[in-house]
Each structure stands twice: as C-alpha cells, then as structure tokens.
Structure 1
Amino acid sequence: MLTKRELMRNAAVVALGVTVAKLPPAYAANNAEWPTLVEAKDLAEAGFVYGLPIVMNYAVMYEYAVDRNSGQFKAPFNQLKNEPNVFTYKDTAIVTPNSDTPYSFAWLDLRAEPVVLSVPAIDPKRYYSVMLCDGNTYNFGYIGTRATGSEAGDYMVVGPDWQGDTPAGIKQVFRSSTQFALAGYRTQLFGPDDLANVKSVQDGYKVQMLSAYLKQPAPPAAPTVVFPKIDKELVKTNFFDYLDFALQFAPAQDNEKEMRAKLARIGVGPGKSFNFKDLPLEQKLEFGLGMKEGQRKVDEAVAKVGKTINGWRVSGLPGDSAHYNGDWMKRAVAAQAGIYGNDPEEATYPFTRVDSDGQTLDGSKHNYTLTFPPGQQPPVNAFWSLTMYDGKTQLLIENPINRYLINSPMLPGMKTNADGSLTLYIQKDSPGPDKEANWLPAPDDKIYLVMRLYWPKIEAPSILPAGAGTWQPPGVQRTS
C-alpha cells in the first residue's frame, strides 16, 4: 500500500515525465549504490540534520572571514578582529547574538601549521573567555577566567592531523576536529563608560602562527581555497553542495563514519562531487521532501529541548564531540537555538517564547513583567543578563533607547521594590519615567527571551545541572 508521500511523489514524477533511468551518466558510473527514491528522501533528511550545523558555520565563516563585501566581514584567516562595542540590531550574521560582551574574532586556518593564541593578565573581576569552536560546531576548548584563570598565557590550537612537539612556554594545546576553526573572545563590559578599559584588554590579545611565535621560517603555505558563495537563498537549493565542500576539511571521526558512508551514496563527502542542479527532477523532489522534513524535526526539537521550568526551557545544549556523541539532532538543535553557544559550565541559557501560563509572548498584544524575589537573582560567579529578540528572526530589535538587554552590571542604576525584589518591564512602549530604568523594550510582534548565566555557580542554589538545578527562573507574567 502506497503512503501519501509516495502517492504525491509518483504523481509529481508522472506529471514531470521523468524516470529513475534518467540519472546522469556521471552518477550511474560513479554511484553504483545510488539510492532509490524512497532512500534518497530518507538520506536527505538524515543528511540535513547532520549537516545543518556544518553549513550554518560555513555561512558565518564566509561572511566573517572570506567575503569582504558581506557587510559582516571581520578579518582574514589567522588575524584577530576586536569589536570595541556590542552587537546591535544591525548585526545579522549570527542568530540569537550576544550583546553582553564585546567580541573579538579569529577564524583559524590550521592546514599549514598551528596557531598560537596569547592572552594578557586580566583583572579577575572582569570575566573573559576564549571559546574554541570547530567546523563541526564542537566547543573543543576554553581559555579564560573560569577555564584557565586570569593570568597571562600562550595557548596553541592545532588541526586534526597535526603531529609535533609542544614548544616551551605553551600552557595548553587544543586540537580542532576540522582544519578551519573559530576563536571567539568574550570580554565583559561593565557599562558604556567601560569601553576604553575593554579596548585595553582586547589590545593584549594576540594571534600568531607557530613559526612566528618561535621566530622560525614559515612552512609552505596551504593550497588556495576557492570558497563558494553562500547566502540565505542559495542555501535553500545548494545545501548539500555546501556540506560536500565543507566536509573536505573535516576528517571523519569514528562516531560519524556510518553517516559519512550514507552521504557518500548521494555523492557527498571528500573525493565526491555532489551537484544538486544535475539531479533528475524526481530526485530533486525527494531531496526537497527530505530536507523539509529534517527542518521540521529540528524546529520541533528546538521547541521541546530541555526541561520546561515556569515557561522557560532550560537545557545544557552545546559541548564538545564527546558531549554530542553522534547525536546529530542534538547538535542541530544546539546550532539552531543559538550557534556558538557556550558549554553549560561556561554559560547556561534559559529561553522562552511563552509566559507563565504557556501563552505565546507577543508585544503587540500584551505587556509583561519578570520579577526576581529578594535574594533570588540568577546565581553566577560572573554575571547574568536577559536579552530581547524578535520572535521570528531571533535577532536583536531596533528600539527607541537602544537597549537590547538588562544585565547584572546595570543593577546599580535600576530600581528595586520595597521588599527587595527586582521587577523588569517587558513591553514595546515605555512603562513611564519612573520605571524606564527597568524597561526591556519588546518588538511589536512575537517575543523571544534568552537569559545568559555566565559561569553559573555549582553550589546550591544553582541552575546546574541544567534542568535539574536548585535555582529556577521565575515565569514571565502578563500584565495587560
């Protein structure tokens, strides 16, 4: 008995007048195990879930380190770009951007030789972190206040195949699973008048090739790469072309060999040559169905991730390769919920789209409040924040006071209630001069709220372990 999907597909194939026999000669010759139509749909679905974080990462890398005209370009590979400000609504390359900490970025090309990251001594009161994230979106290491302390130090980042000795003076070696990786620096900002101090810290960050660090001649340069252009439209039809391209720089790990073998059947992977536009129409249809179903399942999993606590979803999504352990859906959910998120020990991110009654947050219909009872603000070693995003795009919103978040460094300028509790006003219009210090402007539409707890405490009360901690975020209350 035919399923509804098979009936739809067969009807489309008949209408298009195409058959399986019309596979291009290149595919017939080089893909003896080319999947059937039903298999193609299933492989496309699984491949989409597996490849989503990889393609998302490539898109950001392309805008930040390759395309100088992208509007988001930071610096070429192996060069550091300090941002002496925080993200605003104008920054659109990364979904759910962090506007707490000025960033510094260094996209690393590890093919020819390792890269050495040097950090200065930093005041222990100022939180900072350097998150190392590879092309698989694995957080493969940390430098910073929590992980390595506040002292100065030199750290080496190596590619997946690097073999060599650790030079004297290197405190720690971090190995990327891919040949391109990202070093993302977060430096705490205490307020607008603190920018000069942040810039001084950023000036102390240094990125250099190992040969330069050792004052030795550089090895032969890696081959020039022609990076394919990517944008939101191209990725809709060329998704597997981009995945095919990115995988050549990502040697297969043991826990992904089965998935790589499946992808090889559709011409995706090192030594393969996938080209979506060359596929017969019925194969394109199956690929489209598979990708659509994969996206639906990712969206559904994002909405259900973690544990619901007072309307907030609390989870410990991001991590290293061992953390995901081949769970490709978990990795895809982490990327879509907020690519380049921290490990829960570095920062935990409760998020919500609903109020305490489970009703969708909508700034066009209601005003809201969020109240922390006395002594029950988020328990952290560093600081906490609450950031407002557009519920549809997960981007920061333009607003009349250029305020995208409220965080604990702002507390001295805020008003507490008579009992010592703290109430935040979440609405599109000002709550009035007497409450504006506690106002988090909302869009005239759906709302997406994210808390960030930097270096959360591990002793009670604590949000850790994520979803089962002794501290719980209070629910968002509808006031009108």
Structure 2
Amino acid sequence: MLIEKPTRLLLAGLSLLLSASAWADFSASPEEARGIAKEAYLYGFPVVEMYKTLYTQAVDKPGSNFKAPFNQIGNTARVFTPKDTAFVTPNSDTPYSFVWMDLRSEPMVLTLPSIAEGRYYSVQLIDLYTQNFAYLGTRSTGNKGGHFMIAGPDWNGQQPLNIDRLVRSETNIAYALYRTQLFDEKDLGKVKKIQNGYKVQTLSRYLGQPAPAAAPKIEWPKPTANMSDSPELFRYLNFMLGFAPAQDVEKDLLARFAKIGIVAGQPFDLKALSTEQRKALEDGIADGKAEFATFKKDKVDTHQVPSGDLFGTRDHLKNNYLYRYAGANMGIFGNSTDEAAYMGYFVDSTGKPVNGARHSYTLHFAKDALPPADAFWSLTMYDGKSKLLVANHMKRYLINSHMLPTLKRDADGGLTLYVQHSEPVKDKKSNWLPAPPGPFYAVLRIYLPKPEVGNGQWALPPLTPVN
C-alpha cells in the first residue's frame, strides 16, 4: 500500500517522538555516562551471567544443559565433565542438583532426607545478584534432613508449624544449588538414592491447600553471544531487576543508573542511542574490565584478597560490586567462606602466569600439612580460556583427599603432585593432574575448612615450575 509523503513524514516524526520519549531518562553527558556505565557493568555482570545459567537450565528445554522447569528439581547423577558448560569453574567432586525458584506467588518448601554422617552435602541458596543468602546441609542444618521454606520479598504469610526454618530471599527468583559428595564410582548408586530424596513443592501443595493466583507469565529474552561484554548487558539487567525489588541501600545508586536508561523492568533499546551515547557505554564497560584485570593481577593472583571475600551474603560483601563481579567472573556460584575455601593457582612461584605449553609444575604438601578440612579437599584443573574442565585421556579432572590411598607419598611422608600436560613417568602417574597445552588455572577447594585455613596458620604451598 502506498503512503502519501505528508503521512510518511508524520509517521516518521511520531517515531522519533516516541523514541525520544522512551529515552528521555538518558540524561547523562557522555563523560558522566561513561562513569555510570562502568559502575553499572560491574554491578550488573553477575546478574546477567546468572541469567545465562537460568535460561540454559530452566527455560531452554531443547538445550543440552536443561535441568528442570521452574519450581522442580533437576538431578545430575554424575560429576561434571568438560562437556558441562552451563557455568564456569564447576567442581567435579559433588554431583549437582538444581532448583530455579519462582517465588512471586508463594514460597517453596525444600525437603531434605536424612543422610549418613560422614557424607558432605549442601544446598546453597543464591539470589539474582549471585549473593549466597543462606545454606542448608551438613554445616548449617546437619545431616538429619527436614523441611525448609524459601520465601520471596513480597510474601507476608505465617510460617507453618512443621517447617524447620523459614529463609527469606530479597529477590523473587532464586536458585538452590545442591552438592552431594561422591566418594568414588561405586558410590554413585547411594548418591542417586540421596538425590531422589530431595523434594521440592510449592507451599500450597506441601500443605494440601488451593494454590494462590498464578503470577504473570514471563517472556524470557533469548541470550545473545555478547550479552555480558557489551552494552547489550544493560537490556538483560533491566529485565532481571524487574524481579529484584530495590534495596534502600541502593536507591541512590539505581537513581544514578537511570541516567543511562537502566530502570528495573523497562526496555533498553540500543538502537535508540546516539553513536556518542553508545560509545560512552562501551568505554565505561572497557574501564570496568580494566579495573578488574588490575585487581585480579595485584590482589587475587597474589592471594592478598582471598576467595572468601568474593562470595557471600549482601552484608558479607558490603556491597563491594568489584568483589562480587570478580567472584562471578572467575567462579560464579562459589561457596561462602564458612562452607568452602577456594585458593586459585593463576601464577607460579615466580609470579608468572601458569601455562602447560611452557612448563611442568610440582605442588608439594609437607608431611602433616595437607589442606585442613572437616569435610574434604580437592585440586581441580581448568582451561585458562574457556574456564571449563580440561579433557584428557585419563578423564581425570582433579585430585582430592578421597584419592589419598591411591597416591604415592614422598619418602618423608609428604605429598607431591605433578601438574603438567605431558604424561609423567610411571612412578609419578598416580599423582598427575593433567593440564592443557596452554594457559590454565587450578583451584584448591577446602570444604568445611578448619580454623587454621582462615587464621593463616596453614600456608598454601606454591606451584613450582620444573626446569
């Protein structure tokens, strides 16, 4: 159909007016926008990275990493391998179970079975900011099991008498990430039985009562390739913030973000931005990445800032958004410091980045100086580029404390591990952790760390290059 020229001009003018109206809140100058974009990038990156996992595990049913729909549990009755790509730096000691909870209409009740003493398990409760707001399991609630209710910020009901604990989430969507210790391949049947005992129900179903009115259907935006590394991030951040009521402590910050169009639940249309505005956002993101790179090199790689500072509750993190960003970037969904200690080997004893194409390495634990754990410890290998587990013909992705009877001790009773790409000679093979032929990093995890880990009485041994 032909449109007369005056009509076309009118429609074009109306389109521009609507666009200008939609972006009337982009009031920051380019210089100010760059600074705000840096803050918003560091603030929003964990939220958007979490959305990637949410979409993969609970929305994208045809996908290879799909686990279960919302408010249902998905069990993985095996440890993670290099084929698992839903999130970076996973552990490969504890088969995972996954529950994405939609708490808008009513709470969820998580029922845990009784588990034999001596087996570690945990349920990590994570809000949309990647903050660990609570734990269930061996350390926090014991191995006796029970019924635990998770409620969102808008729920005002009464806690039922037969609920062992009520836990509050500050966001209306939350994640329950279960870890169940697996001792060896022969133990897999017992782990499956435990996982089958994990039950998830809405509160109304648990009580046998009529369900409340359903919350509005959510139209989940499909992830894009560059959603975490470009201004596209702000579109997903706006979407996710719609499920996260503003906290009083952040209202001034969010008002500042609004100057570049970051508003909870509102659209963020990059096409409506001028070239100058878009460049300001891109430069701000680059500034954020640069600040993290310096922080990682100077503070994290040198262990001046321990992993325990990067994961935890909002109060524990003290709204340090660079720390929260670092945790999500290097190992999203990492445990809080009381649950596990993480110690990363990103550089060797000389301060140089570790690389399996350039060196072989040794890691020596002196006699009686193995990692102090009330549960267990493990050293896991990751590819430096993909941040995923490293494929190798032995299918060995870690060395852990349960393997100690099969490892060869030094003459003095110490333990030396061989971290390298090439297979070592036979008498060292039992202690070999295969590395890729290129950049890598290894993470030492200590589950239920003893006090000497936190107070410095136990020293992390260095990764030493072999000449």
- The TM-score with structure 2 as length reference comes to 0.93
| Distance (whole Å) between structure 1 residues aligned to residue 20 and residue 67 of structure 2 | 39
Structure 2 partner of 1:285: 279
CA separation of 1:406/1:33 partners in 2, compared to 1, >3 Å: closer, same or farther? closer
Structure 1 partner of 2:454: 464
| Distance (whole Å) between structure 1 residues aligned to residue 433 and residue 426 of structure 2 | 13
CA separation of 1:271/1:439 partners in 2, compared to 1, >3 Å: closer, same or farther? closer
Structure 2 partner of 1:447: 440
CA separation of 1:479/1:280 partners in 2, compared to 1, >3 Å: closer, same or farther? same
Contact 1:404-1:441 within 8 A present in 2 as well: yes
| Distance (whole Å) between structure 1 residues aligned to residue 22 and residue 464 of structure 2 | 63
Q: For residues 2-51 of structure 1, give each alpha carbon's deviation from its aligned partner in whole angstroms, at most 9, with x where no partner exists.
A: xxxxxxxxxxxxxxxxxxxx997534576256111111111111111111
Paired amino acid for 1:193: K
Contact 2:301-2:347 within 8 A present in 1 as well: no
Which of 39, 60, 63 is 1:67 aligned to? 60
- The TM-score with structure 1 as length reference comes to 0.91
The alignment status of 1:104 with 2:97, answered yes or no, reads: yes
Q: Which moved more, 1:358-367 or 1:142-151?
A: 358-367
Q: For residues 214-257 of structure 1, give each alpha carbon's deviation from its aligned partner in whole angstroms, at most 9, with x where no partner exists.
A: 01111111110000001333443411100010000000112211
Partner-residue secondary structure (3-state), 1:351 = strand
| Distance (whole Å) between structure 1 residues aligned to residue 30 and residue 16 of structure 2 | 11
Paired amino acid for 2:302: T
**How big is the shift at 1:272?**
3.2
Contact 1:31-1:266 within 8 A present in 2 as well: no
Alignment of 1:406-445 (within 5 A): 406-445=399-438
Structure 2 partner of 1:479: 466
| Distance (whole Å) between structure 2 residues aligned to residue 186 and residue 51 of structure 1 | 26
| Distance (whole Å) between structure 2 residues aligned to residue 307 and residue 438 of structure 1 | 25
| Distance (whole Å) between structure 2 residues aligned to residue 451 and residue 187 of structure 1 | 18
Which of 132, 135, 152 is 2:145 aligned to? 152
CA separation of 1:304/1:155 partners in 2, compared to 1, >3 Å: closer, same or farther? farther
Contact 1:187-1:198 within 8 A present in 2 as well: yes
Partner-residue secondary structure (3-state), 1:333 = helix
Partner-residue secondary structure (3-state), 1:382 = strand
Structure 2 partner of 1:54: 47
Give the aligned length: 452
| Distance (whole Å) between structure 1 residues aligned to residue 297 and residue 175 of structure 2 | 27
Residue identity (%): 46
CA separation of 1:46/1:272 partners in 2, compared to 1, >3 Å: closer, same or farther? same
Contact 2:231-2:278 within 8 A present in 1 as well: no
Which of 76, 83, 95 is 1:90 aligned to? 83
Structure 1 partner of 2:366: 373
| Distance (whole Å) between structure 2 residues aligned to residue 412 and residue 312 of structure 1 | 33
CA separation of 1:271/1:334 partners in 2, compared to 1, >3 Å: closer, same or farther? closer
Contact 2:26-2:261 within 8 A present in 1 as well: no
Contact 2:354-2:440 within 8 A present in 1 as well: yes
Contact 2:25-2:260 within 8 A present in 1 as well: no
The alignment status of 1:162 with 2:152, answered yes or no, reads: no
Structure 2 partner of 1:15: none
**How big is the shift at 1:183?**
0.3
| Distance (whole Å) between structure 1 residues aligned to residue 93 and residue 298 of structure 2 | 26
Structure 2 partner of 1:258: 252
Partner-residue secondary structure (3-state), 1:256 = helix
| Distance (whole Å) between structure 2 residues aligned to residue 70 and residue 299 of structure 1 | 32
| Distance (whole Å) between structure 2 residues aligned to residue 233 and residue 51 of structure 1 | 14
| Distance (whole Å) between structure 1 residues aligned to residue 336 and residue 130 of structure 2 | 12
Contact 1:380-1:453 within 8 A present in 2 as well: yes
**How big is the shift at 1:302?**
2.9
Partner-residue secondary structure (3-state), 1:350 = strand
| Distance (whole Å) between structure 2 residues aligned to residue 240 and residue 29 of structure 1 | 15
Structure 1 partner of 2:297: 303
CA separation of 1:271/1:473 partners in 2, compared to 1, >3 Å: closer, same or farther? closer
Partner-residue secondary structure (3-state), 2:62 = coil
| Distance (whole Å) between structure 2 residues aligned to residue 62 and residue 371 of structure 1 | 41
Q: For residues 162-201 of structure 1, give each alpha carbon's deviation from its aligned partner in whole angstroms, at most 9, with x where no partner exists.
A: 1111001111111111111100000001111111111111
Structure 1 partner of 2:335: 342
Q: Which moved more, 1:156-165 or 1:29-38?
A: 29-38
Structure 2 partner of 1:124: 117
Q: RMSD in angstroms over aligned alpha carbons?
A: 1.8
| Distance (whole Å) between structure 1 residues aligned to residue 214 and residue 25 of structure 2 | 37
Alignment of 1:9-408 (within 5 A): 25-28=18-21, 31=24, 34-235=27-228, 236-270=230-264, 272-306=266-300, 308=302, 315-408=308-401
| Distance (whole Å) between structure 1 residues aligned to residue 260 and residue 368 of structure 2 | 57
| Distance (whole Å) between structure 2 residues aligned to residue 454 and residue 24 of structure 1 | 58
CA separation of 1:274/1:219 partners in 2, compared to 1, >3 Å: closer, same or farther? same
Q: Which runs of 5+ in 2 are unaligned?
A: 1-14
| Distance (whole Å) between structure 1 residues aligned to residue 285 and residue 309 of structure 2 | 26
| Distance (whole Å) between structure 2 residues aligned to residue 404 and residue 77 of structure 1 | 31
| Distance (whole Å) between structure 2 residues aligned to residue 329 and residue 66 of structure 1 | 29
Partner-residue secondary structure (3-state), 1:88 = coil
Contact 2:107-2:152 within 8 A present in 1 as well: yes
| Distance (whole Å) between structure 2 residues aligned to residue 134 and residue 194 of structure 1 | 32
Contact 1:55-1:239 within 8 A present in 2 as well: yes
Paired amino acid for 1:470: Q
